[in-house]
Copies of this chain bind each other. A is one copy, B any other.
Amino acid sequence: VAKIKGFAEWLPEQQILQQKIVTSIRDTFELYGFTPLQTRSIELISDLTDQGETDKEIYGVHRLTDESEVNFDWGLHYDLTVPFARYVSENRGKILFPYRRYQIQQAWRGERPQLGRFREFIQADADVVAEGELDLRYDAEILLMFQKLLFDLPIPKVQLQVNNRKLLQGFYEGQGIAEVIPVLRAIDKMPKIGEGGVEEILTGLNLSKQQIENCIGITKVSANGSTGLKQLSDFSIDNLQFSEGIEELGRVLDQVNELADQDSVVAGLHIARGFDYYTGTVAETIFPDYEQVGSICSGGRYDNLISAGSKPIPGVGFSIGVSRLLAYCFHLEILEASKKSTAEVFVAVNSEQDRNNSNKVAAALRSRGIATLVSDSSAAFGKQIKIAEKMGIKYVWFLNEGSSDEIKDLEARSQTECDVDTWMPKTDI
C-alpha cells in the first residue's frame, strides 16, 4: 500500500523507543546548558548549494496552486548545519555568544534508500559558536557531552574516534604530496575497503611506496592522549600544520579523558570526514561490537563556515543520525520494541456501570504524575490482564468494592494491596 519509498515510519512500539531516545538526547543536551533551536525546514536553494555540496540530492518545494508565478528557489534542508549557520548570521545581534544550541529535526535527501539511509530522517545536532575566537576547550566540552549522551542511550558501547584536519593536511604536505583531498578521501574509506583497497587507490594517485607506507602507517597509531601521540614523531615529518594538529588533538583528548572513560574517546587517525568546511577537530563513532553499523555520530570544528559582518564565527559541533541509529538497532535486534503503550498502570474495569470509579483512580494517579490507562474493555479480568500484557504495561490496578484496591505486578507476578494516594511504581534505574 505504501506508495512512497525510502521513508521510515515506525510501528507504534518502535515510535515509543524513538521518542525515548530523542528525549534522552534532549535531556543530555539541556543538562550541559545547550538551548533548543527549531529552524524552518525550507531554505533558499542558493543557501543550500553554497557549501559546494551539490551531491546532496536536494528536494525543491513549490506552490501547487501558484502556477502563474512558479517559485522554484526553495528547497528542504539536507542537514541542520546549513540552517543553523543561516540562523546565526541572521540573528547575530540578538544572540548571546558563545551560543550553545541543540537541534533535533528532520532533514531530507533524495538518496537511493538503503538500510539506515532514508529520504527523510531525524538528526540531533549540538554546536557551540562564538564571535571572533572559540577556544579549543570547546572541542573537548562538546566531545565529552556526546560521550555522555551516547553512554546514556540504551545502545551497545560506542567509541568516539577523534582526528584533526591540520594533522592530516600537514602529514601529507610534509611528505610532498601536492593533492591532499583525493588522498584524504581514500584514507577515509579504510574501514570500508580495507588496507588493500586504500593502497590500490593511493598507487593510482602516483604516491611513492614510502608515501603509501606512511599514509597507511599513520592510521595504525593508537592513542588516547598527548602521550600516545608522541609516536607520530617516528614519521620524521617537519611541517608546522602537522605539529599544530598533533598539539591540538593531544590537548582535546587529554581534556576529554580527564573526565571520560579511558577508552571511549580515542584518536582515529584515518578519519577525515567528507565535508570541506572542517578546519581542525573531526570525529566519528564506531560500535566496537557491531562494526557494520558505521558512524552514527560525527562532526568537527569549522572556523570559516559562518561569516556575517566583519568578525568570523567559528564553531564546533556534532550530529547524531537518530533514524539511522534506530534502523540498525531494529534490524540487528539490538533494541527490542515491546511496549505498545506509554502507560505504567492499566486500571481494570469491573463493569461498564462501574467504569467511572476506574476513571477516578486514573485521575488520581495521573495527578501524581503516573501515566495511566483505563481498560477499554470490561470483560473478565483474565482478558483484561492479557490486553495489559500485550500492551507491555507492567501494573494492573483492581478496584475492590468495600475493601482495599489491589495492584498486580505482571513482571514480578505478585499482587498487593494499594492506595491511590500513596502507591508508586518501582522505578527502573
A-to-B contact residues, CB < 8 Å: 1-4, 7-12, 15-16, 18-19, 29-45, 57-66, 74-76, 87, 89-91, 94-96, 98-101, 106, 108, 110, 119-120, 122, 130, 137, 148, 258-259, 340-343, 355-356, 359-360, 363, 366, 369-373, 376, 390-391
In angstroms, Cα B76 to Cα A369, docked, is 36
**Of B42, B106, B110, B148, which contacts A63 at CB under 8 A?**
B110
**Of B7, B41, B42, B91, which contacts A40 at CB under 8 A?**
B7
CB closest residue in chain B, given A137 = B355
Given contacts A1-B90, A60-B61, A60-B64, contact A19 B33 (CB under 8 A): no
CB closest residue in chain B, given A130 = B376
In angstroms, Cα B3 to Cα A89, docked, is 13
Q: A41-B41, A61-B61, A137-B355 are in contact. List 7 more A-B contacts (CB 8 A).
A: A8-B40, A12-B96, A41-B106, A42-B120, A65-B110, A98-B376, A259-B359
Q: Specify which chain B residues have a CB less than 8 angstroms from the CB of A391 in the assembled complex.
A: 96
Question: CB distance A373 to B33 under 8 Å?
Answer: yes
Tell me, rounded to whole Å, the shortest Cβ–Cβ distance linking A290 to chain B. 25
In angstroms, Cα B84 to Cα A12, docked, is 12
Question: CB distance B62 to A59 under 8 Å?
Answer: yes
Question: CB distance B57 to A35 under 8 Å?
Answer: no
**Of B33, B120, B390, which contacts A372 at CB under 8 A?**
B33
Given contacts A42-B120, A44-B4, A62-B60, contact A31 B87 (CB under 8 A): no
Tell me, rounded to whole Å, the shortest Cβ–Cβ distance linking A138 to chain B. 9
Number of copies: 2
Question: CB distance A31 to B90 under 8 Å?
Answer: no
CB closest residue in chain B, given A37 = B15
In angstroms, Cα B107 to Cα A368, docked, is 33
Question: CB distance A74 to B32 under 8 Å?
Answer: no
Question: CB distance B59 to A7 under 8 Å?
Answer: no
In angstroms, Cα B366 to Cα A381, docked, is 44
In angstroms, Cα B422 to Cα A126, docked, is 29
Question: CB distance B63 to A36 under 8 Å?
Answer: no
Question: CB distance B41 to A120 under 8 Å?
Answer: yes
**Of B19, B64, B66, which contacts A45 at CB under 8 A?**
B64
In angstroms, Cα B106 to Cα A122, docked, is 13
Task: Report the 8 A-B pairs with minimum CB-CB distance, sorted nearest first.
Answer: A33-B373, A33-B343, A7-B40, A19-B36, A30-B342, A58-B64, A63-B110, A60-B64
**Of B11, B16, B356, which contacts A91 at CB under 8 A?**
B11
Question: CB distance A35 to B15 under 8 Å?
Answer: yes
CB closest residue in chain B, given A94 = B11
Given contacts A64-B45, A74-B4, A98-B376, contact A259 B340 (CB under 8 A): no
Question: CB distance B37 to A12 under 8 Å?
Answer: yes
Given contacts A33-B343, A259-B363, contact A7 B372 (CB under 8 A): no
17 cross-chain CB contacts under 8 A: A4-B74, A9-B38, A9-B87, A11-B94, A12-B99, A12-B101, A33-B342, A33-B372, A33-B373, A40-B120, A58-B65, A59-B64, A60-B61, A60-B62, A61-B61, A62-B62, A65-B110
Question: CB distance A33 to B63 under 8 Å?
Answer: no
Q: Specify which chain B residues have a CB less than 8 angstroms from the CB of A10 in the assembled complex.
A: 38
In angstroms, Cα B1 to Cα A87, docked, is 10
Tell me, rounded to whole Å, the shortest Cβ–Cβ distance linking A383 to chain B. 14
**Of B18, B35, B76, B94, which contacts A38 at CB under 8 A?**
B18
In angstroms, Cα B22 to Cα A38, docked, is 12
In angstroms, Cα B347 to Cα A247, docked, is 28
Tell me, rounded to whole Å, the shortest Cβ–Cβ distance linking A372 to chain B. 7
Tell me, rounded to whole Å, the shortest Cβ–Cβ distance linking A86 to chain B. 9
Tell me, rounded to whole Å, the shortest Cβ–Cβ distance linking A104 to chain B. 10
CB closest residue in chain B, given A20 = B36
Q: Specify which chain B residues have a CB less than 8 angstroms from the CB of A30 in the assembled complex.
A: 342, 371
Question: CB distance B38 to A15 under 8 Å?
Answer: yes
Q: Specify which chain B residues have a CB less than 8 angstroms from the CB of A31 in the assembled complex.
A: 366, 369-372
In angstroms, Cα B122 to Cα A3, docked, is 26
